[in-house]
Amino acid sequence: MRKFVGTLGRTLLASMLMAAPAAAQGMMSGLDLTSPRMSRAEVEALLDQATPDKPADLSRKALNGLDLSGLNFDGADMTSAYLNGTNFSGASLVGAKLDQAWGLKAVFTKANLSGANLFQAQMIDANFDGADLSGARLASDFTRASMVGANMSGADFSADMRNQSMGMMRGVLNSVDATGADFSGANLSRAAGEFANFTDASFEGADMRRMEAAGAKFDGANIEGADFADADLQSARLDEARGTAKNLKR
């Protein structure tokens, strides 16, 4: 009898141990346990080793919540990096590559991202107040982002019409606050800007053809020479906009 009980106990224990990894795997399946975590000191060390010919490689790195303000990321590859809540205030990211990066609630106030590439990046609720994004490729999701006074002159928010199998890849500015921002000469063709606040912004010479800007606010905005051909401006406020635009019926 004792032998039977002992054998039964060992059998049950073995079954529990075998089942434990499977249960744990199920519980952890939604967690990211593979991406490298880095400290500011480690990031600085990597940046110090970078050269113009071999820029820093931060692709797929997890930098969530770090204070990286004031650092130089010029030309860095940050493809698919995790930047949620990261502070890049005053940092330089000239020509940096942030394609498919996750930057939810990231802070880029007064950062220099001129010529940077942000394709399919998630910058929802991020802060770009006073940032320089001139000439940048910005086919990313900026929903509810703050872009007050940001320089986006010559930036490209237009849709990528070459690959639409996963939906339209374009700049999304829905519900952003872009008060006083500079979009002069920017390409916003087919971009989305529904219910955005463009008060006092400049769209001088911008391409806004087929832009979806229903409910957007353009009070005091400069729209001189901007092309609004086939744009969706239903319920948008343009009565107080300044300048003469192309293909616009008020």
pLDDT digits (tens, 9 = 90+) for 134-153: 999 999 999 999 999 999 99
Asked if residue 16 has pLDDT above 80, the reply is: no
Q: Where are the beta strands (DSSP E) in the chain?
A: 117-122, 137-141
Q: Is the pLDDT of residue 20 over 90?
A: no
According to DSSP, the residues that pair with 246 across neighbouring strands are: 227
CA gap 201, 224 in Å, rounded: 11
pLDDT value at residue 36: 55
Inform me whether the pLDDT recorded for 246 exceeds 50: yes
Above pLDDT 70, what percent of the chain?
83
- DSSP structure class, residue 159: -
The pLDDT confidence band at residue 245, using thresholds 50, 70 and 90, is: very high
Residue 249's pLDDT band (cuts 50, 70, 90): confident
**Dihedral sign of CA atoms 160, 167, 176, 123 in order:** negative
pLDDT at 37: 85
Q: Are 79 and 98 in contact (CB under 8 A)?
A: yes
- What does pTM read for this prediction? 0.84
Quote the mean pLDDT of the chain.
Answer: 88
Spatial distance between the Cα atoms of 246 and 45, rounded to a whole number of angstroms: 51
Q: Domain segments of the chain: what residues?
A: 1-29
Amino acid occupying residue 33: L
Query: What's the CA gap between 135 and 83, in Å, rounded?
Result: 22
Split at pLDDT 50, 70, 90, the class of 110 is very high
Position 150 scores a pLDDT of 99
DSSP string, 58-127: -TT-B-TT-B-TT-B-TT-B-TT-B-TT-B-TT-B-TT-B-TT-B-TT-B-TT-B-TT-EEEEEE-TT-B
Residues contacting residue 68 through CB under 8 Å, at least 6 positions apart: 40, 43, 86, 87, 88, 91
pLDDT at 47 over 80: yes
How does residue 160 score in pLDDT terms, banded at 50, 70 and 90? confident
